[in-house]
Amino acid sequence: MSTHSPAAVTDSETPDSQAPGPGISDPATTDPARASTGALPTLRLPSPEGQLLDYTMSGPADFAPPSTPLTSRKVYAAAHVVPVMSAENVPGAPAQLDWEATLAYRHELWSYGLGVADAMDTAQRGMGLDWASTKDLIRRSAAEAATVVRTQRHPAVVGRSVRDLIACGAGTDQLGPDSVEPGPAGLQSVLAAYQEQLAVVEDSGAKVILMASRALAKVASGPEDYLTVYSQLLDQAKEPVILHWLGTMFDPALTGYWGSTDVPAATATFLTLIRENAEKVDGVKVSLLDAAHEKQLRADLPEGVRLYTGDDFNYPELIHGEDGVHSDALLGIFAAIYPAASAALQAYDAGDPERGRQIMDSTRALGKHIFAAPTLYYKTGIAFLAWLNGHQSGFQLVGGLHSGRSLTHLAHTFVLADQAGLLRDPQLAAQRMTALLTTGGLT
């Protein structure tokens, strides 16, 4: 059995050092079976109290990509971006992306049967990724998706359309909130910014995700302003779009979105917009981290409008569903747990929902930790796991966001990912984790 130490846990998430905690199987009996990797590394990890304690890894689970497309749920993984490692990856500097690594990660997600949600908050929209780089990302990712559709490169997405493979965010981040003021002129500026980005996404061939706008949150005087702007955008959209409601835990600048800080009142406005424009709404992504709210909203949506859960805490139960009703998914955590997410969805496809739920539950503690407050720094954890798994050569993020989490937080991320079977090369992961701790003075 692996050695579980206080270095690997926090009191709030795991009751003692020997119990892996809710949603995580004991690594000695983890199901699905662990892949055979030979002797597993033991490394020294920091505890929240400052101690360095031994942790022996559990090894990767045997999560195989599907040989045919997934059918039981429609899902998108919100992908991060990889910067050029020699670039000025510091706050305020323009983004310089490593396109080979960034696009390769999207292929990895497609190979496991997941769609990609790109140019979203996971890709650091509003937190380092400037509009010029965002336009390039949208066009390159959509072109890559079109190539996948044409060449049928990945069996897991054969027969899927470009819109199935890629959905991209259209927002207003080329318009700084400081440049607009409440009133008709401000609303017109916001609408024009949305229209510009809407055109970029549509021209790329990707499905449109209408993102929440900091500028609109600033200039709108009430619910009617939201309804006016969004109704015009939906009327102009060529194909049905996904509406994204992002909670303040992800972006405090969105306080009062939909015209109220009262969630039921904001929800009523949101539903009015959807009901009046249902033919132009493919679905809604709600990121409020409130399972009860999502279930009620799901029940209130017009027929044919999907609920893509954006709840990175409660996704196992929401995707599993109840009484024959479930959420689909558009999740940042899926970019970190995609092998397990795919395996769970394969189980749902095979008519084994309990198995699917079991696999999803095995990742839940990791999701809660990566998205722990301050939630907006979850991007650091997504990129950290990509680095540990060899998908990028260094642990850096655009805008210096690799400093968004502490070394003790990242050490706990390492353990939870290992216990969930998501570190595919234990030797590489241990080597990189040890190197990071050494440079941070934790040896």
For 212-261, how does the pLDDT look when each residue is reduced to its tens digit (9 = 90+)?
999 999 999 999 999 999 999 999 999 999 999 999 999 999 999 999 99
Residue 185 lies in a domain: yes
- Position 214 scores a pLDDT of 96
Task: Give the C-alpha separation, 88 to 399, whole Å.
Answer: 8
What is the pLDDT, as a whole number, of residue 422?
99
pLDDT tens string 52-65: 999 999 999 999 99
Query: Taken in order 65, 67, 70, 76, is the CA torsion positive or negative?
Result: positive
Q: What is the pLDDT of residue 171?
A: 98
CA dihedral (338, 343, 344, 350) in degrees, to 10, reads 150
Residue 101 exposure: Cα atoms within 13 Å on the Cβ side: 21
154 pLDDT higher than 90: yes
Q: What are 341-399's pLDDT values in tens digits? A: 999 999 999 999 999 999 999 999 999 999 999 999 999 999 999 999 999 999 999 99
Q: Is residue 145 part of a domain?
A: yes
Facing residues of 330 across strands? 76
- Nearest CA to 226 out of 176, 168, 179, 276 is that of 276
What value does the mean pLDDT of the chain take?
Answer: 92
Percent of the chain with pLDDT over 90: 89
Q: Is residue 361 within a helix (H) or strand (E), and if so which, with residue range?
A: helix 353-361
In a domain, 439, yes or no: no
Q: Check: pTM over 0.85? Answer yes or no.
A: yes
Task: Give the closest residue to 7 by CA, choosing from 58, 61, 66, 51.
Answer: 51
**Joined tokens for residue 218:** 């600033």
Residue-level pLDDT at 176: 81
User: Domain for residue 66, yes or no?
Assistant: no
- DSSP E strand boundaries for 199-347: 207-210, 241-246, 281-287, 306-309, 328-331
Q: What percent of the chain has pLDDT over 70?
A: 92
Confirm whether 102 is domain-assigned: yes
CATH of the domain at 231: 3.20.20.70
CA distances from 366 to 108, 178, 276, 400, 409 (A): 20, 36, 38, 23, 11
Q: What confidence tens digit (pLDDT) does each residue in 116-139 have?
A: 999 999 999 999 999 999 999 999
Average pLDDT over residues 402-413: 97
Report yes or no on 133 lying in a domain: yes
pLDDT at 10 exceeding the cut of 50: no
Domain hosting residue 344, numbered range: 75-365
The yes-or-no verdict on residue 288 having pLDDT over 50 is: yes
> Number of structural domains, the chain?
1
Residue 27 in this model has a pLDDT that exceeds 80: no
> Model confidence at 36, in pLDDT bands (50, 70, 90)?
low
Q: How far apart are CA 286 and CA 274, in angstroms?
A: 13
Of 214, 143, 136, 201, the closest CA to residue 168 belongs to: 201
Look at residue 230 and give its three-state secondary structure: helix
Cα distance between the two ends of the chain: 24
Quick: pLDDT tens for 60-80: 999 999 999 999 999 999 999
In this structure, what token pair is assigned to residue 141? Answer: 């990712």
- Within-domain flag for 329: yes
- Tell me the HSE value of 69 on the side-chain side, using a 13 A CA sphere: 15
Q: Give the pLDDT band (50/70/90) at residue 178.
A: confident
